[in-house]
């Protein structure tokens, strides 16, 4: 059996015959994802409690619009032209927008891969989908079609920014599955938001992160940072055995094994493809600034 | 330098919470209402237009639910009585203290899908003063406001069309006057809300010293709401409210 034919899951090959990974490691990314998911869920509940005068004191009771960095982006036009924010958007959303931009400049869209609760939610549903159809999961859409569909989210971004700028209202809240996910129980969510959330839940059982790939306007903006981010995912072609473990594990279906530096606009900096995780060889797929 | 998983976890947490902490230290972090303007109570200062022929003028888009009719009358130089007539609130005793956010409650009897609220006030002020504002599709103006605008303002054809399609006849409507300052006293359980003032706290028997310990400085004007104070100081309203509520509850238990 050649190295290229080694099946997934049984790969033990390492540079010099050694295995880099040993023992059970804590999935730090999962811990961070759960933390942010729980934090946002608690803030959403606390916001509702505050309106009843029963808020938990030590926890923020801000509305979700105030702690969503995408709110800053949709409000930019109004802020520049009139000096005001779109209704329901606060300074905090603007500040978070700057913070996430700075983060993306360094390490790419880590917000998507590590923080975004809707991304995490889809990922967790995907684990269930992977059990339902282990072979077909995340491969339902032909690669060629999929490649073009990935640009849909830029259309969504333009639509959201344009309509928000011209209407001066946070109209996307009526379609936003993130808002629907954390507010479905409040009665404040539009039926369109609930329908889209339902579609995201359903498609997450067949595809990894479907909303992130095809529709997320925020992911579209952060994805651009992949072109010039400081720390990039790089593949050492001199040590790579072309086992494609990196390709198979990438939630965004990026073909990591075909390039030296990953600049794909869909990368979410989850680090699943790296030598710390899927890649069986040490220092072969890494996030770095320097040359390999 | 290579970024490993634990580096990334650390970077994410440091960027987000570090960034928030720094902006809080500079009093920039604000998750509550109150808008991008500054001040509170009678000291409300809305943002101004930055460019164009209206540069320097107060922007009606910055009117928030916490703005009282008195604030608006003063800032945009619209006679208070005219505002009261426009919104059918001529009989309200303290019209100057009536807040835009209270309109929803006042017009609670409107039919579904028709709303008169803060957006309606923004539209009224913008049309009355001739200042630019994107008219909201989902908010309506009382017929009385439309009549005043048609008589007093220089309206474009589009604006007249908007008014004709977004007016509500309130003549037969029973307007629910919100009980802003007395609701706490009439309630069996005293609850601090967004419109609770420091004066209310003193009236309920919370000692001034205890309030000052919680807010970390001298008691501000008694007419100032706790919420406005928290916004002005960049503090978490929910947190302060919980601490003060505990003091109020403790008084009730004695």
- Which among A57, A96, A114 has CB closest to B12? A114
**Using CA atoms, how far apart are residues B57 and B76, in angstroms rounded to an integer?**
9
| CB distance A67 to B31 below 8 Å | yes
Confidence of residue A8 (pLDDT cuts 50, 70, 90): very low
Nearest CA distance, B64 vs chain A (angstrom): 9
Nearest CA distance, B170 vs chain A (angstrom): 26
Nearest to B31 by CA among B228, B236, B170: B236
Which helix (H) or strand (E) is B105 found in, with range?
Answer: helix B103-106
- Are B16 and A115 an interchain contact pair (Cβ–Cβ within 8 Å)? yes
Can you tell me the ipTM of this complex? Answer: 0.86
The owner of tokens 């109150």 is B34
Residue A277: its chain B contacts at CB < 8 A?
A: 5
Q: Which neighbouring-strand residues pair with B3?
A: A287
Stretch among A230-234, A287-291, B120-124 having the lowest mean pLDDT: A287-291
- Are A287 and B15 an interchain contact pair (Cβ–Cβ within 8 Å)? no
Which helix (H) or strand (E) is B25 found in, with range?
Answer: helix B19-25
Q: How far is CA B234 from CA A53, A274, B77, B97, B246, in A?
A: 20, 42, 29, 24, 21
Highest mean pLDDT (candidates A24-33, A40-49, B5-14): B5-14
Q: Which of residues 262-281 of A touch B (CB under 8 A)?
A: 269, 271, 276-277
Q: Give the number of A-B residue pairs with CB atoms closer than 8 Å.
A: 144
Q: Which of residues 56-85 of A touch B (CB under 8 A)?
A: 56-63, 66-67, 78-79, 81-85
- Are B243 and A98 an interchain contact pair (Cβ–Cβ within 8 Å)? no
Nearest to A72 by CA among A63, A62, A85: A85
Domain ranges of chain A: 29-225, 231-292
Stretch among A42-46, A83-87, B123-127, B238-242 having the lowest mean pLDDT: A83-87
Radius of gyration over every alpha carbon of chain A, rounded to an integer in angstroms: 20
**Using CA atoms, how far apart are residues B200 and B232, in angstroms rounded to an integer?**
19
Stretch among A69-78, A82-91, B12-21 having the lowest mean pLDDT: A82-91
- Are A287 and B138 an interchain contact pair (Cβ–Cβ within 8 Å)? no
**pTM, to two decimals:** 0.64
- Which among A84, A100, A289 has CB closest to B47? A84
Q: What's the pLDDT at A246?
A: 95
Residue A103: its chain B contacts at CB < 8 A?
A: 11-12, 15-16
- Are A110 and B8 an interchain contact pair (Cβ–Cβ within 8 Å)? yes
Compute φ and ψ for A234, nearest 5 degrees. Answer: -130, 150
**Using CA atoms, how far apart are residues B200 and A43, in angstroms rounded to an integer?**
28
Nearest CA distance, A140 vs chain B (angstrom): 30
- Are A106 and B11 an interchain contact pair (Cβ–Cβ within 8 Å)? yes
What is the pLDDT of chain B when averaged over all its residues? 79
Q: What's the pLDDT at A51?
A: 61
- Which among A91, A110, A286 has CB closest to B30? A91
**Using CA atoms, how far apart are residues A255 and A262, in angstroms rounded to an integer?**
9
pLDDT tens digits along B173-228: 666 666 544 433 333 467 777 777 888 888 777 888 888 888 888 888 777 778 77
The CATH fold of domain A231-292: Alpha-Beta Plaits (3.30.70)
Q: What's the pLDDT at B228?
A: 76
């Amino acid at each position: 059996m050649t190295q290229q034919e080694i099946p997934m899951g049984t790969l033990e090959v390492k540079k010099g015959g050694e295995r880099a990974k040993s023992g059970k490691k804590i999935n730090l990314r999962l811990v961070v994802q759960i933390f942010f998911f729980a934090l946002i869920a608690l803030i959403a509940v606390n916001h509702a409690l505050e309106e009843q005068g029963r808020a938990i004191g030590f926890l923020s009771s801000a509305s979700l619009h105030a702690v969503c960095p995408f709110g800053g982006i949709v409000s930019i036009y109004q802020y520049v032209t009139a000096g005001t924010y779109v209704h329901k958007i606060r300074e905090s959303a603007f500040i978070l927008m700057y913070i996430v931009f700075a983060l993306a400049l360094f390490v790419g869209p880590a917000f998507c891969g590590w923080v975004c609760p809707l991304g995490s939610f889809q990922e967790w549903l995907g684990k269930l989908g992977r059990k339902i159809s282990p072979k077909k999961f995340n491969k339902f859409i032909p690669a060629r079609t999929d490649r073009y569909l990935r640009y849909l989210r830029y259309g969504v971004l333009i639509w959201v920014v344009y309509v928000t700028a011209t209407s001066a209202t946070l109209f996307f809240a009526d379609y936003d599955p993130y808002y629907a996910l954390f507010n479905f129980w409040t009665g404040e969510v539009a039926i369109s938001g609930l329908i889209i959330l339902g579609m995201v839940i359903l498609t997450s059982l067949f595809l990894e992160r479907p909303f992130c790939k095809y529709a997320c306007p925020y992911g579209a903006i952060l994805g651009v940072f992949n072109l010039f981010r400081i720390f990039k995912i790089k593949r050492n072609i001199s040590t790579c055995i072309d086992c494609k473990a990196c390709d198979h594990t990438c939630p965004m279906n990026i073909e990591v094994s075909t390039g030296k530096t990953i600049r794909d606009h869909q990368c979410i900096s989850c680090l699943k493809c790296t030598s710390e995780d899927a890649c069986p060889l040490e220092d072969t797929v890494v996030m770095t600034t320097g040359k390999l | 330098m290579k970024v490993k998983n634990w580096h990334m976890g650390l970077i994410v947490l440091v960027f987000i919470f570090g960034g928030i902490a720094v902006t809080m230290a500079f009093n920039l972090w604000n998750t509550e209402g109150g808008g991008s303007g500054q001040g509170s109570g009678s000291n409300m200062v809305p943002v101004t237009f930055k460019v164009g022929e209206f540069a320097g003028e107060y922007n009606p888009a910055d009117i928030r639910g916490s703005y009282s009719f008195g604030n608006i009358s003063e800032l945009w130089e619209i006679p208070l009585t005219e505002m009261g007539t426009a919104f059918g609130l001529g009989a309200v005793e303290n019209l100057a203290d009536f807040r835009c956010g209270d309109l929803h409650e006042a017009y609670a009897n409107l039919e579904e899908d028709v709303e008169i609220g803060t957006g309606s006030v923004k539209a009224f002020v913008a049309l009355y003063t001739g200042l630019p504002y994107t008219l909201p599709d989902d908010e309506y103006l009382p017929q009385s406001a439309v009549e005043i605008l048609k008589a007093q303002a220089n309206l474009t054809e589009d604006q007249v069309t908007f008014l004709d399609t977004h007016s509500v006849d309130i003549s037969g409507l029973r307007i629910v006057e919100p009980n802003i300052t007395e609701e706490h006293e009439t309630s069996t359980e005293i609850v601090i809300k967004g419109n609770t003032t420091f004066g209310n706290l003193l009236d309920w028997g919370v000692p001034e010293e205890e309030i000052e310990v919680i807010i970390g400085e001298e008691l501000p004007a008694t007419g100032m709401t706790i919420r406005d104070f928290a916004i002005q100081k960049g503090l978490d309203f929910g947190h302060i409210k919980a601490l003060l509520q505990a003091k109020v509850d403790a008084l009730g238990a004695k």
